[in-house]
Amino acid sequence: MDYEVICVETSDLLREAFAVRLEVFVKEQGVPEEEELDVYDAEAVHFIAKERGSNKVIGTARLIQKSPEIGKIGRVAVLPDHRGRGVGTQIMQVIESFAHERNLRYLELDAQLQAIPFYERLGYTASGDIFLDAGIQHRKMTKTLHRAEKETSTT
């Protein structure tokens, strides 16, 4: 692995995460910038994938806690030159571990239709009708995070 995934803790890294999103969603996919950056960014926990050595940010995603048990993953983006190398998978795994540590039980996301097979390989299940978000077809996907059973003692 020539990259690492970390939780964003500085405004500089957050700006770099936004730059990846603008490159992927606004420039590549034509999403209006005012729709891409939204009010949820302030409350979300952001994650980035950085190249080792150069520290260049090559991927990002965010997690919003919707309730004590439900988190919503969004804005998953990897720069074109780094796709197909496991970067997105690693970002998702780090988010899932983070969510599990915070006792979230369910994760949901809105997947672009072309990305559904990627999320299915990670254990997410599509449900509901196709809907448009920023003019792009999506479906809702969910995953249950398994909790370790607590040991009980018998006396």
pLDDT the model gives residue 151: 41
Low-confidence ranges of the chain (pLDDT < 50): 149-155
Question: Helix, strand, coil: what percent of the chain each, to 5?
Answer: 35, 35, 30
For domain 3-103, give the CATH number.
3.40.630.30
pLDDT the model gives residue 155: 46
